[in-house]
Structure 1
Amino acid sequence: MENSTQFKFFIVDDDIFCANVYEQYLSNLNYTDITYFSNGKDCLSNLDQNPDIIFLDYNMDDLTGFEVLKKIKRYNPNVYVVMVSGQENIKTAVDALKHGAFDYVTKNAFVCEKITQIINKISQVKTELNYSNPTIFKKLMGFL
């Protein structure tokens, strides 16, 4: 059985400095499966590696974060995509969530703390989904 806390991460950001910060931070949390892409196209062409969590920069040169987000969700709706943006913009945050992002993070002094909270939240959600699915199925079938 795979350790439920070991995730496969994609970091998609055209700012190598930011990407390095996240990667180093995830490594410090003992995550080892981290792949970095400097643009959306490379991320999309590697979705067959089945990442669990993608930290996706909103503002990139080739494709916008939203375009990439929509394509990721079309390819696999179960990927947890966390939109990361340099600007704190409520409309962008709302749009990201509308397009299927799990969460929205602003690049600021607290970004690493926020990443930890999000990973913990995703771990909880995954655990609850594993436990609740049989119950939902039984309810649907009228067993409960």
Structure 2
Amino acid sequence: MKNIKILPAFIVDDDPFWTAILKQILTELGFTKIHTFEDGVDCLNHIHLNPGLIFLDYQMENSNGLEILQEVKNYFPGIEVVFCTALESLEVAIAAIEHGSVEYLLKSNVTEELVKDIVDNFQSAKLA
């Protein structure tokens, strides 16, 4: 399997501050093809770029992250999706995992080390 860092990575979030931070972290980790989208519909319109990894927000102005997650997984179940939210909700976390998200990331807890660990875990799983 290819190195996940050379595959496109999507950041789907309507918060420009969060998007900029996450994009910087991914760039520092070696990702070279990072695409950002302010809503899920725009992400789905570009899903043909076959991202290896998507960081997907739950609450966006024009789309619901759970619905977008289902559409992404319907397109290709092998896309790794990290569900990102500022909302600490067990119900949402369970729904995200049930719909195929491999991680549930609280924005308030994000560090570069945490994102690195998530990426490394995906890379290890792809190579196994």
Smaller-chain TM-score range? over 0.9
Give the Å deviation of 1:113.
2.6
Higher RCO (CA < 8 A, seq sep 6+)? 2
CA shift, 1:114, in A, is 2.0
Over the residues paired in the alignment, what is the CA RMSD in angstroms? 1.5
Task: Encode CA deviations 1:46-87: one digit per residue, 9 max, x unaligned.
Answer: 000000000000111111000100000001111001100002
TM-score, length-normalised on structure 1? 0.83
- Cα gap change, 1:110 to 1:93, in 2 (>3 Å): same
Q: 1:105 matched to which residue of 2?
A: 105
Would the alpha carbon gap of residues 111 and 96 (structure 1) be closer, same or farther in structure 2, given more than 3 Å must change?
farther
- The answer on whether the counterparts of 2:5 and 2:30 sit within 8 Å (CA) in structure 1 is no
- Structure 2 gaps, min length 5: none
- TM-score, L = length of structure 2: 0.93
Report the Cα distance in structure 2 between the residues aligned to 1:5 and 1:14, rounded to whole angstroms: 23
Q: 2:34 maps to which residue? A: 34
Match of 2:51 in 1: 51
Q: For structure 1, which segment, 41-50 or 107-116, has the greater mean C-alpha deviation from structure 2 after superposition?
A: 107-116
After superposition, the Cα gap between the structure-2 partners of 1:58 and 1:52, relative to the gap in structure 1 and judged at 3 Å, is same
Q: Give yes or no for contact 1:7–1:52 (8 Å, CA) kept in 2.
A: yes
In structure 2, what is the Cα distance between the partners aligned to 1:4 and 1:10?
Answer: 12
Alignment of 1:54-65 (within 5 A): 54-65=54-65
Partner of 1:76: 76
Q: 8 Å contact 2:4–2:52 — kept in the other structure?
A: no
Match of 2:9 in 1: 9
More strand per residue: 2
Aligned to 1:91: 91
* Unaligned ranges ≥5, structure 1: 129-144
Aligned residue pair count: 128
